[in-house]
Amino acid sequence: MGLFLRVNPYRLCGRSLNFALVLRGRKRFHKGRTMIRILMKLLDDGLPAPRYQHANDAGFDLPSRVDLLLGPGERATIPTGIALAIPSGFAGFVLPRSGLASRHGIALVNSPGLIDAGYRGEVAVVVINTDRMKEFQIRRGDRIAQLVIQRVEEAAILQVDDLDETSRGAGGFGSTG
C-alpha cells in the first residue's frame, strides 16, 4: 500500500542511515506481481523520507534539500537529499508534479529524468520556471518532483545495412499531422 521504511541495523554509521525502501505498488490487485526492494540512503536527516502520498500512486514524491527562489524563465538543479540503489533490470524515472505545473508553471527540463540502476549519487531534479512574470519559491522539504520505478529491458544492438520497411518509414516530427 505504499512505501515502508525499515532501518538496516548493519548499515548504521554516524548521522547517515540506510533504509530499505519497499515498493508495494499494486501487489494486492495483480496476482503474480512481485515486490521489489530499493535501498535508500538519507543524505540529510533533517528531511522526511520520500513516500507515496496515496494508495496505488505510481510515483513517490521527492523533496527539495534547499531553499531557492526561481525567477521567471530560470532553471536550477535541486538536490533531494537521497541516494538510491535501484536493482539491475529497473530504472527510476523523475517526473513533474502536475499541481506545480498547472498552478505555477514549474516543469522539469529533462523530463523524464532517468536514474540508472548503477547510479549511487544524490538524486537531483532539474526544474524550470516557465512563468514569464512570477518568481517561484522552493522551500527545503517541498515536494518538487516524483519518482516512478519501472522494469526496463536491456537491448542487444545489432548494426545492419538496411532496416525493414514500415508504413511510417522515416517520417519524423510532425509527420502524422
Nearest Cα residue to 62 out of 84, 45, 82: 82
| Rounded-to-integer distance, Cα 84 and Cα 5, Å | 13
Asked, for residue 88, whether it belongs to a domain, the answer is yes
- pTM for the model: 0.77
Q: Would residue 17 count as lying in a domain?
A: yes
How would you classify the pairing of strands 36-42 and 17-23? Answer: antiparallel
Is residue 67, in this structure, part of any structural domain at all?
yes
Q: What is the pLDDT of residue 5?
A: 39
The per-residue pLDDT for 175 is 76
* SS3 call for 98: helix
Q: Is residue 23 part of a domain?
A: yes
Range of the domain at 126: 3-151
Question: Which residues in the chain show pLDDT less than 50?
Answer: 1-31, 33
Q: Which sign does the torsion angle of CA 128, 101, 108, 25 carry?
A: positive
In a domain? residue 156: no
Q: How many domains does the chain have?
A: 1
- Is 32 a domain residue? yes
pLDDT at 3: 41
pLDDT at 34: 62
Tell me: the pLDDT tens digits for 19-38? 344 444 333 434 454 678 89
Structural domain contains residue 177: no
The count of other CB atoms within 10 Å of the CB of residue 145 is 26
Predicted confidence at residue 56, as pLDDT, reads 83
pLDDT of residue 119: 97
pLDDT more than 70, % of the chain:
81
Q: Are 20 and 37 in contact (CB under 8 A)?
A: yes
Please tell me what DSSP assigns to residue 58.
S
CA dist., res. 20 & res. 49, Å (int): 11
pLDDT tens figures, 96-116: 999 999 999 999 999 899 999
Q: What local confidence, expressed as pLDDT, does residue 125 receive?
A: 97
Distance CA 22, CA 36 (A): 6
User: Looking at the domain assignment, is residue 129 inside a domain?
Assistant: yes
CATH of the domain at 101: 2.70.40.10
Indicate the Cα dihedral angle 120, 128, 142, 61, nearest 10°: -50
For the beta carbon of residue 177, count every other beta carbon within 10 angstroms: 3
DSSP state of 21: E
Say what the pLDDT of residue 8 is.
36
Per-chain mean pLDDT for the chain: 83
